[in-house]
Structure 1
């Protein structure tokens, strides 16, 4: 009976994460046979949970409306995932640190003691690593407005902000007029929130930094479109026009690479900027804690480098070349 009860709770937790489940997926998730899952579903039905059978090739079982799920039906792995997420995610959204800490404390009080101990063992201390590329946190109001527009498929009117959060005026060189866009998907990459959207002004797919947008919601609906890439995360990573600006570093330099912008954008570290030059060349601007660090990252692309800026970066490359040549010569001695 105890085993059946645990499976029933686990079954409810699966339904909480996804409404429609094929029988084989439920069996795999529970580590039980399909016959056992059917019996557990009948047990839940007798307890009043409206689980319906969906027939057809895409069918399975669906938990209907009209009966609330038990509060906080988590298994061990889910509880640990929530604990880690609450401690790591707030750094990307402004002002959520205290709220996340209170939510974690409330969660620890609500779950059974068997889950509380491993959650408490994952109290994290954040350390700044020199190779982290921090991003400005997103305004929760802007993120909510964008997320709501994505969910309800409503057109957004957006204004582009500077890196410091200010809005350029009509007479400024970097001023862009407000745009009407269809917000399709949110992607988080390298600590930054990006919006994949279709621009109604020039009929192009674009990637926007959410922290660089001032969104104005509308109630105008839009329909589905064929996405620009089957993998939207890869589309974001390979788009060089993401609205990125160089992260603040002691040393910031750039070079012309004999590689397409899309290739470099995919592998460039967060906080760098890729400028398209032509089909086979781009300019990469990035920072590091030393000029040798900037040079070292550029070398990882294993491509020809020209037009290095500033002169300090070129000097660092020459020093590294001399050191490596000495190492190669020494390695050739018997």
Structure 2
């Protein structure tokens, strides 16, 4: 406990401890408060002077407990406690980030009741949140709280980061924002060690030290957009696609995590990278947008393979129908098989059939 805590604040903390531990002795209460047993008794006396029903129970198991008729004081949270509460709610309920949802509205009421210096960092996390994470990826609220505090105060941070191969790497960063996206907590930052923008997984951050050195954060930072665009880059295979549409329609159908969109002559250019061209081709195929794969050999091949599978599936459906029309369709397909393959390659590089939206 801080040594400059006022007697009134300590008395309220004593009340909180007594509520949490009915029957607590004066000695244990003093240990909780970081004071002597005599001082703990004095704080109990302050509570009684305020007409709070603090009862004493005698005997070997005696101590202090709260009597009936107590009207609870306002909730008191430290910044770490408040952040831990909000993180737990965000991780456990998809509607917690939306103030129009039941749980989100309740969370908003709690935040409105908190002091500004406690509530504002928590609001910053809530504004850039996403779906709840895998329980295995949950992070330490105290460590995350220090990162949020550094983001809010624009203070540089020294941290130890565990790389994918298990090695630990010391880093010095300018922390911009803490973001929950697709099941993982990220620290969006500028790495002074690498002189590059980074998105660090907080479950891999081993230790945090907030320095007194200030920095200037980016103006008008859209943390979620910046993070998603960052995560779409740096993979093995290049993606370069021309979408035959306008920027508004492209943004409607393609999540920012698929890559950067840029309006050009003839449509919109989609640039990104991927480790899984087959997956990427499927994401493009479920949109109603006409597109042309440009300088991406792996994605061209994946799109051709996907188109061939669809053509084969359509042929299998005709065969299963067993009708005279299906027979004529099979005969037509057989007689022009080579032509169909050539047309498939050309067609899939240029456009895809409409399908249900399945992005996110």
TM-score calculated relative to the size of structure 2: 0.37
Greater C-alpha radius of gyration: 2
Which structure: greater helix fraction? 2
TM-score calculated relative to the size of structure 1: 0.39
